[in-house]
Amino acid sequence: MDCSEDDPTIFSAHCLPSDPRLWATVTNSYLGTRVYRDTIHINGVYNGAGGDTHRAILPSPLNVQLEAPAGTEQLTETFTLDTNTGSFLHTLEGPSFRASQRIYAHRVLPHVLVFSVSIARLTTGNKSITVPLQADFSPESPDLDLHVGPDFQGLRYLHGHILNPEQPGEPQQEVHMLWMPVPPALTLGEEEKDRTWEFLTVVGSSQAEAQDCFAEALQLQTRGVLYTIHADSWGQLWAGCGLDVAGPLALRQALRGSLYYLFSELPQPGTQGFISHGLSPGGLSNGSQEECYWGHIFWDQDIWMFPNILMFHPEAARAILEYRVRTLGGALKNAQNLGYQGAKFAWESASTGLEVCPEDIYGTQEIHINGAVVLAFQLYYYYTQDLKLFQEDGGWDVVSSVAEFWCSRVEWSSQDKMYHLKGVMPPDEYHSGVNNSVYTNVLVQNSLHFAAALAKDLGLPIGKQWLEVADRIKIPFDSEQNFHPEFDGYERGEEVKQADVVLLGYPVPFPLTPDIRRKNLETYEAVTSPRGPAMTWSMFAVGWMELRDPSRAQVHLSRSFANVTEPFKVWTENADGSGAVNFLTGMGGFLQAALFGCTGFRTQ
């Protein structure tokens, strides 16, 4: 596949990837889909009990493709993702006509998905031009009890509810969809030079909401500005926040693509009443059953995506933190179920915040997610000084509850007079049940110091054990070899899955001398699995940039590119193409390498 022009903002090819997982996605803060896929996902709508919960599949009326008019020869076909306008285009051009389809998730009207078809005459003549449409739609879903309702103002109507809520007694969320029926073909009349048809799909949580959102979209469509307002909104976003560098086209496109896919998940700045349901590793376009971690929310949101969002879009960053506030009840229950005080945020979270990881070991042992959650609140506080979030809107409850969890989870060792944290799994998931993961323990220390400092700022009492545990928790360090072992008993040379100890210093604030930072990087650089996830190499790059070694940083930054697929810059979790796709986690790490590695910028 070859791009049609050297533009870092437009990704084009003459055919689609053979793997449909790598096709472009169109998403807004409420709806997400992959082009030519039969599935729409709705933010916050999950089906399935407990660990089986996953994003519910809503059948997609946008699964429509253009076909060439009968008898067409010398046809040129192009597929384009235009990040400037947040839209996907499929163009068929022959000697006498051009037909194009545009697909987008409306940026201003998040309940609306649109595809349009335009036909233009390129030569003189008055023969009609008919373009067939291949539509594949069935009003069925494995996750929803759906029923066809009466038409509404010429639109089809489908409504129903999820089959199984995440937890017993929860309501079965409703889904209501209106869409314009798609004909088998569209015809440009004999006397017409060009024409555009627009097809709307509208989704809401009630019939009234769907109808109201349709009325709003119809008003814009009638004025002829439905697409213009969407495109202008993207233009305003890019004018206010973007990232470009002087460098190879591939690097510039990777940066732009990463920003596009991440921004697609967020509301337009200034949007009122946005409710975040969290950011999953594969984004809203992915997360059906057995796909991209079922759409669950991990530490990926807080460690890998959040710092970039905070820099560009503090309003959306706050909404993401509000998701953690709303699910604090589940986190409190998780801690109680494990026999501890305070809050333990789920390794995998969905609607309630209760643990929904299908495998118990991760939910029980990867407690470092607690430190990641608090770090996100900490960065937000330093960046915005938004006291209201902590005084009135639940932020303090999150920070203090995590502090209480840490104090109940550690154990005092009379032998070395330190607090130990036993039986955990660090980010390096090749090792489980270890004691004193240095990454986890540093996060404990950071969480407790921040909780104490925040309490002082808010005029609240400091927990009686917070500073004692923070100051006396064991931080493994080998003074002879001048590096931090990953955990008690770690032997140098043992393979590790991904960035772990090298996260100390950045993104986790922790004072390190240049010599120790270098030794940590060298030690784990030699033993990190080449099969590890994308964000690993970005963090090595940040470390080497901190040490002013750009050549070594470039080696690792370049490794990230193995996870960027052509032509639409969709990331895969692993370099061999396996794992999650549209991997926002990897994109987040890559963007941090540029934003915080190249610049040295820190929020503190």
pLDDT given at position 5: 65
In CATH terms, are 10-240 and 249-598 the same topology?
no
- pLDDT for position 201: 99
Sign of CA dihedral 306, 309, 310, 314: negative
Question: Which two tokens mark 27?
Answer: 């998403």
Q: Do 262 and 27 contact (CB within 8 A), yes or no?
A: no
Q: Record the tokens describing residue 228, joined without a space.
A: 């213009």
- Residue 61: CB atoms within 10 A of its CB come to 25
DSSP label of 562: G
Amino acid 163 reads L
Q: DSSP secondary structure string, 84-142? A: TTTEEEEEEE-SSEEEEEEEEE-SSSTTEEEEEEEEEE-SS----EEEEEEE---S--S
Supply the pLDDT for residue 481: 96
**Looking at residue 319, what is its pLDDT?**
96
Tell me the percentage of the chain whose pLDDT exceeds 70: 99
**What is residue 2's predicted lDDT score, i.e. its pLDDT?**
44
pTM: 0.96
Confidence (pLDDT) at 217: 98
Mean pLDDT of 125-138: 93
Angle at which helices 438-458 and 395-409 pack, to 10 degrees? Answer: 130
Contact 105, 28 (CB under 8 A): yes
Of 199, 188, 192, nearest to 221 by C-alpha is 199
The DSSP letter of residue 579 is S
Cβ-contact 533, 498 below 8 angstroms: yes
**Amino acid symbol at 81:** L
Closest CA to 199 of 174, 172, 227, 171: 227
pLDDT band at residue 247 using 50, 70 and 90 as cut-offs: confident
Half-sphere exposure of 294 (CA within 13 A, CB side): 22
Phi, psi of 536 (to 5 degrees): -55, -50
Q: Which helix (H) or strand (E) holds 31?
A: strand 31-34
Q: From CA 444, how far away is CA 440, in angstroms rounded?
A: 6
**Separation between Cα atoms, residue 587 and residue 137, nearest integer Å:** 32
Pairwise pLDDT comparison (272 vs 437), residue with the higher score: 437
Which pLDDT score, from 0 to 100, does residue 74 have? 84
Phi-psi region of 428 (alpha: psi -120 to 50; beta: other; left: phi over 0): beta
| Tokens linked to 359 | 């495998």
Cα–Cα distance list, 77 to 6, 89, 101, 253 (Å): 18, 11, 11, 22
Average pLDDT estimate for 219-245: 95
Angstrom distance (rounded) from CA 523 to CA 535: 18
Cβ atoms of residues 324 and 399 within 8 Å = no
Lowest mean pLDDT among 13-17, 71-75, 89-93, 483-487: 71-75
Q: What is the pLDDT of residues 330-379, one digit of tens each?
A: 999 999 999 999 999 999 999 999 999 999 999 999 999 999 999 999 99
CATH of 10-240, one of 2.60.40.10, 3.40.640.10, 2.70.98.40, 3.40.50.10860: 2.70.98.40
Q: What is the chain's mean pLDDT, rounded?
A: 96
pLDDT at 584 over 60: yes
What would the pLDDT profile of 423-432 be if each residue is shown by its tens digit? 999 999 999 9
For the question of residue 429 being annotated catalytic, the response is yes
In this prediction, residues 9-20 reach a mean pLDDT of: 97
Mean pLDDT over residues 312-325, rounded? 97
Q: What is the mean pLDDT of residues 381-401?
A: 98
Domain spans, the chain: 10-240, 249-598
Going by their DSSP bridges, the two strands 185-188 and 129-135 should be labelled as antiparallel
Tell me which of 429, 468, 495, 525 is the catalytic residue.
429
CA distance 97 to 124: 10
- Which class in CATH covers the domain with range 249-598? mainly alpha
